[in-house]
Amino acid sequence: MRTKTHLKINDQVEVIAGKDKGRVGKVIKVNATDGKAIVEKINMIKRHTKPSQTNQQGGIIEKEAALDASNLMVICPKCSKTSRVGKKILEDGSKVRVCKKCNESLEAKA
């Protein structure tokens, strides 16, 4: 089952709960099926890997683990504050995400 999430790739987010609370990072990947996201340099875990064809050396590899989307809050690029995300339909019929604090669009200008 696909769950809706307020996050998109390249969003600047702040962690609001857990061991990395207060840290800020950029969303690398969003998994909508289980409502999780991977954030750059946050929730780092260590994986012990055996030597293989792709990784000749093996050893301990550090990588980012998924965080629940409910523990992340989007930082508005306009007002630089964490805020909840609303949706608005523009005159041309397109749907955009908006900051609930300053009412500005969160979408990147193309």
Tell me: pLDDT of 85 over 80. Answer: yes
Tell me: pLDDT of 4 over 80. Answer: yes
Task: Count H helices and E strands in the chain, helices first.
Answer: 0, 10
Phi first, then psi: what are they for 71, rounded to 5°? -95, 10
Tell me: pLDDT of 22 over 90. Answer: yes
Q: Which residue has the tokens 């409502």?
A: 35
Write the single-letter amino acid at 106: L
DSSP classification of residue 53: S
- What is the reported pLDDT for 12? 97
Query: pLDDT by residue (tens digit) across 23-41?
Result: 999 999 999 999 999 999 9
Tell me: pLDDT of 1 over 80. Answer: no
Q: Considering only 53-57, 61-65, 76-80, which range has the smallest mean pLDDT?
A: 53-57
108 vs 8: which has the higher pLDDT: 8
Answer yes or no: are the C-beta atoms of 3 and 70 closer than 8 Å: no
Tell me: pLDDT of 110 over 60. Answer: no
Cα–Cα distance, 29 to 106 (Å, whole number) = 17
109 band by pLDDT with thresholds 50, 70 and 90: low
Q: What is the architecture of the domain spanning 12-49+60-99?
A: Roll (2.30)
